[in-house]
Amino acid sequence: MLSTRVIACLDVHNGRTVKGVNFINLNDAGDPVEQAKLYSNIGADEICFLDISATNEKRKAMFNIISKTAECCFVPLTVGGGVNSVNDFRELLNCGADKISINSSAVYNPNLIRQSSDKFGNQCVVLAIDANENKSMPSGYEVTTHGGKKKTNIDVLQWAKEGVKKGAGEILLTSMTSDGTKKGYNLKLTKLISENVTVPVIASGGAGNPKDMVDVVLKAGASAVLAASIFHFGIHSIWSVKREMLKNGIKIRECEKKNE
């Protein structure tokens, strides 16, 4: 049985970590390089660095900041934002990223999933899905792009299955309606995807406390939990999450109590 991963997410805008609610009203949450170093030292299993404005601004990711982040990060680093080609994959991997997250670009060019998977291995390809509730969709959820700003008329479950078939090695699943609310993950959505794909599913959007993270693993089958706000603003620590998981029989990679 694999350990459940606790992932700290750095949503980066203009070189700073930010966090809002439902992807809007962004508040400054610190320097991404320093935060990555901190989370790496206090027990995060992975760091996720998402340049959230790159796609909307039609630019590439900030390679210099990503490189600095990778240099001080001693756990796997996933990078996303502004990735549109196999060459972008190569550049980010050369900057020190371990995995690359693709979202909007994969929707508009699904072959990018296969091309990057064939070139670098599916363990490097994370398909990020931003899901919004839409009762007209077969699954009840629609894929959105550009940070949730654009609808696609693509069913989330159909897209998740297609992405895995094309070579995605992992799915980063974000509930847009839950993001930043601290009211808990969308268990229904997470369970729907985790039960119908053969790759790990990272639950994202809505973590408010360690119990939320336990619930999305035990009740919805998530392989990893991702959070931003509760870690950035000191509401809960990495260790408090892992301690709650241990209490509930979830296998984890243990860490020192440095952040309590």
256 in any annotated domain: no
Q: How many domains does the chain have?
A: 1
Residue 251: pLDDT over 60? yes
What are the catalytic residues?
11, 130
- pLDDT for the residue 217: 98
Looking up residue 65, the CATH number of its domain turns out to be 3.20.20.70
138 in any annotated domain: yes
First-residue to last-residue Cα distance in the chain? 28
Residue 198: pLDDT over 90? yes
What whole-number percentage of the chain has pLDDT above 90? Answer: 66
CA atoms lying within 13 Å on the CB side of residue 32: 29
216 in any annotated domain: yes
Residue 26: pLDDT over 60? no
Residue 32: pLDDT over 50? yes
254 in any annotated domain: no
257 in any annotated domain: no
Sign of the dihedral defined by the CA atoms of residues 219, 221, 223, 229, in that order:
negative
Q: For residue 38, what are the contacts with CB-CB under 8 A and spacing of at least 6?
A: none
What domain range is 122 assigned to? Answer: 5-247
255 in any annotated domain: no
252 in any annotated domain: no
258 in any annotated domain: no
